[in-house]
Structure 1
Amino acid sequence: MGDMEQLVDKGIDLLPWISEMAINLLIGIVIFIVGRFVAHKVAHWCERRMLKSSVDKAVAGFCSSILYALMFAGVILMALGQIGVQTTSFIAILGAAGLAVGLALQGSLSNFASGVLIIILRPFKSGDFIDAAGQMGTVDRIELFHTYLRTPDNRIIIAPNSAVMGGSIVNYSREKTRRLDLVIGISYDADIRLAKSIMEEIVSADERVLKDPAWVIAVSELADSSVNFNLRPWVAAADYWDVRADLLEKIKYTFDERGIGIPYPQMDVHVHKQAS
């Protein structure tokens, strides 16, 4: 009985400590949940304010990601402090383990550093159509570790920032004008002067083709089965694909109407009959 009474007395003595720990744990969980929610809302609000102030969408997204990460780290420290964890010791332990963490997360750190370089150097901005990291698409946003591209068929490509900055970046939207580089082949028995005249008429009639710089139509190659022309008109960057499709279609229709042949690959099959 004496041992049982001692255990009960110890339990009663520990009760205030247990209840205090439970309350602190509950408060810590509440701080974490509420703090995370507030951090998300504040970061989102700051992003919307930057967008209203005409800040580029990519920059606004990157800055809001950094703000959220910092606030979230602060929330974690506050929650740990409420539970009773010595945050100063916790920070010291993190600092001591920084090298190991850095080696383990060197890919993520590289992505973060590349994201900072993208924001500083500005090789592209939100809305630009680019070719980077082996992918093509319109830049949607830039976050801490990834760049989001939207393809013409409405797929989202999430490319690591280090892969984007680690290779060549082709920005199709940086300049206001672009040159179409079309190769038009005609058959050898077709009239070269007539074919050139037809293409000149079609290009001249299209108001989207710029007069300056001047367009070029010239024979580029006497190929194996065709005489090839280089057709190089300049257009506004926004009109590039529409003008390209329209010119090719009009050239094909007009060549057919006026007897200009467009060759295509052919294969001759010779059958040798052996005498039985």
Structure 2
Amino acid sequence: MEQQATEIIVASRAALTQASALAVQYSFSILGALVLLVLGWFLSRLLHRWALSGLSHVRGIDMTLAHFFANILRYAVLILVFVTVLGQFGVQTASIIAALGAAGLAIGLALQGTLQNIAAGIMLLVLRPFRVGEYIETKDVTGTITEVGLFATELRTSDGLYRLAPNSTLWNTPVTNYSRERTRKHDLQVTVPDNRDIDDEIDRLLDIAREDPTIESAPAPQVFIDSLGESSATLTLRYWVSTPQWFRTTREMNRRVRIAFGQKLGGPEPEPAPAE
């Protein structure tokens, strides 16, 4: 009995000693892990603010894109800290990194369309083929840009409707931007019978154009004979106007020339007015 009691006491002391050693060992690991987590958290916040501040001062970088890259940097630091903390407890981090890579690949394949929109959104924000407030037209989408996001672009149509277009559809198709250039050209055609003096009609068209203050003086308005018929000639009045005034000026010139010549006007019909 005494021998058994002695063996129990010895085993208990050995177990207590081992438990104390493990407690000391893992207490330092836990303390180190907590320190790493706290430092990693503050470092990620600091790098996030630094990246956001730095990118916001770069000319041409959209704030949406700046927030996106700053968040990527922050979460990359947090993931690195998490993997390092697991290494403190003897976890094989190589297998974790491989698992994260496999999970990322699987998620990428599952969200292929979404990632395509994100990539297109980044290119749209970097290259800026259009900005908020500009009026654009594509094969499928027409309207005024209200917001350019990472996934989709919001537009307002000329009749006041809301439209959401995935970024990939805007990136993979030609885009006509009606608001980007400072001035725009307009051709207005008038048919003149042979019994009228062509030079007088040309001067009259030029006088009408010069009376409008919104029409650019350089390049100056010009009138030329576009085509000849059996008993008439088609004159084209070509002028340039500032882009914000283009729609109003073209409509007003149509009205004034229609009154002056008393006939139906030719030439391409102006595009719908961009939504305000």
Q: Indicate whether the TM-score tops 0.5.
A: yes
Assess, with a 3 A threshold, how the Cα gap between structure 1 residues 225 and 123 changes in structure 2: closer, same or farther: farther
2:207 corresponds in structure 1 to: 201
List per-residue Cα deviations over 1:48-86 (Å, max 9, x = no partner): xx7xx9x98x93345557778999999xxx9xxxxxxxx
Question: What is the TM-score normalised by the length of structure 2?
Answer: 0.59
Cα distance in 1, alignment partners of residues 265 and 128 from structure 2: 46
List per-residue Cα deviations over 1:223-269 (Å, max 9, x = no partner): 5885322211111111100110000000011112xxxx5489xxxxx
Q: Give the alignment's Cα RMSD to 1 decimal.
A: 4.0
Unaligned 5+ runs, structure 1? 1-45, 79-87, 265-276
CA positional deviation for 1:164: 1.1
Percent identical residues: 33
2:103 corresponds in structure 1 to: 97
2:127 corresponds in structure 1 to: 121
Assess, with a 3 A threshold, how the Cα gap between structure 1 residues 62 and 133 changes in structure 2: closer, same or farther: farther
1:59 corresponds in structure 2 to: 62
Counterparts of residues 235-250 of structure 1 (less than 5 Å): 235-250=241-256
SS in 1 for 2:179: coil
User: In the alignment, is the contact (CA less than 8 A) between 1:176 and 1:237 conserved in 2?
Assistant: yes
SS in 1 for 2:142: strand
1:212 corresponds in structure 2 to: 218
| Runs of 4+ that moved beyond 4 A | 61-74, 88-94, 187-191, 223-226, 261-264
Corresponding residue pairs, total: 205
1:110 corresponds in structure 2 to: 116
Assess, with a 3 A threshold, how the Cα gap between structure 1 residues 234 and 100 changes in structure 2: closer, same or farther: same
> Which shifted more, 61-70 or 227-236?
61-70
Cα distance in 2, alignment partners of residues 140 and 69 from structure 1: 26
User: In the alignment, is the contact (CA less than 8 A) between 1:186 and 1:263 conserved in 2?
Assistant: no
Cα distance in 2, alignment partners of residues 239 and 203 from structure 1: 14
User: In the alignment, is the contact (CA less than 8 A) between 1:133 and 1:163 conserved in 2?
Assistant: no
Cα distance in 2, alignment partners of residues 223 and 161 from structure 1: 48
The amino acid that maps onto 1:136 is T
Cα distance in 2, alignment partners of residues 244 and 117 from structure 1: 35
Question: What is the TM-score normalised by the length of structure 1?
Answer: 0.59
Assess, with a 3 A threshold, how the Cα gap between structure 1 residues 98 and 124 changes in structure 2: closer, same or farther: same
SS in 2 for 1:233: strand
Assess, with a 3 A threshold, how the Cα gap between structure 1 residues 167 and 221 changes in structure 2: closer, same or farther: same
Higher Cα radius of gyration: 2
